[in-house]
Amino acid sequence: MKKKVISIVVTVLIGILAIIGMIQIKENNIAKFNSLEDKKESIPTKSENIKTEDEISENVEIQKENEQGSKIESKEEKIDNDVKEETKIDETKKEEVKVVDNSNKQQTKENNSSNKNEVVETPKQTIQNTTTVQKQEEVKESNNNQQQNKTEEVKTEVKQNNPWDDLNITEYEYYNKPAQSWKKVDFSVKSYGTRTATESACRQYGDEYIKTNTGVYWCISVESYSGDYLGEYFDYKENS
């Protein structure tokens, strides 16, 4: 639209200039004819010419001013459009910021609610855990007590069943020490292997002994507290 307006203005100006030119030509011709008659009239013609040139220059200046004004207006419109676009961009950014803020607020609310739920649930879980631990400890203690009681019962039964405890001797003494304190093992079955060999060795020793000594000997069997055969005890008595 602006270009059309400018072209119309230019066309009008050109038409005006053409008309002015035609008028000027006519005036010049008239002035030439009248110059001979009246010199005075030629002066106004020059002034009119001067006025016409001034009008032309004024019209040219007006045209330039109009062109400059149109350029300025176009620049201002561009600036206005740029400002409007920047304003739209700023508004869009503001809306995005609002959306982000709303999402952040919503997330903050959700986090707060989850934190509240965690704070409420944590003591319950702690109480349940402590109760479970206490129950486990009670079960362990009861099991340990039962095991200790069983162990003590077994020990008591073992003590009651061990014959050497009743005799106040050791297990070794029960199986390896003579039951009669006055007996001693002169010929051990461990040395001869069997009871028969042990008794034979004791008698051979007695027979040899009475050859040089007058008296009587005895080979007495020796048993332990358990009744096991330990060997032979050699006893001798001289004749009076």
232 domain residue, yes or no: yes
The helix or strand, by DSSP H or E, that contains position 54, with its residue range, turns out to be helix 39-161
Query: What pLDDT, on a 0 to 100 scale, did the predictor assign at position 26?
Result: 76
List pLDDT tens digits, range 126-173. Answer: 556 667 777 778 778 878 888 887 777 655 555 567 999 999 999 999
Q: What is the mean pLDDT of the chain?
A: 76
Tens-digit pLDDT profile for residues 4-54: 778 888 888 888 888 888 887 877 777 777 765 665 554 444 444 444 566
Q: Which residue has the higher pLDDT, 46 or 72?
A: 72
Lowest mean pLDDT among 19-23, 57-61, 82-86: 82-86
Q: Does some domain include residue 126?
A: no
Confidence (pLDDT) at 225: 96
Percent with pLDDT over 90 in the chain = 28
- Reported pTM: 0.35
The domain boundary, picked from 45, 75, 99, lies at 99
Q: What gap in Å lies between CA 76 and CA 89, rounded to an integer?
A: 19
- Sheet of strand 187-188: strand arrangement: 187-188, 229-238, 215-223
CA distance 45 to 39: 10
Asked if residue 91 belongs to a domain, the reply is yes
Torsion angle, alpha carbons of 194, 200, 203, 207, to 10: -150
Domain-terminating residue out of 47, 75, 99: 99
Q: Which of 49, 70, 99 is the last residue of a domain?
A: 99
Is residue 224, in this structure, part of any structural domain at all? yes
Q: Which domain holds residue 233?
A: 178-238
The reply to whether 148 falls in a domain is: no
Taking residue 176's Cβ as centre, other Cβ atoms within 10 Å add up to: 15
Residue 220 pLDDT grade (very low, low, confident, very high; cuts 50, 70, 90): very high
What pLDDT does 16 receive? 86
Does the pLDDT of residue 195 top 80, yes or no?
A: yes
Structural domains counted in the chain: 2
* Highest-confidence segment of 46-50, 53-57, 210-214, 228-232: 228-232
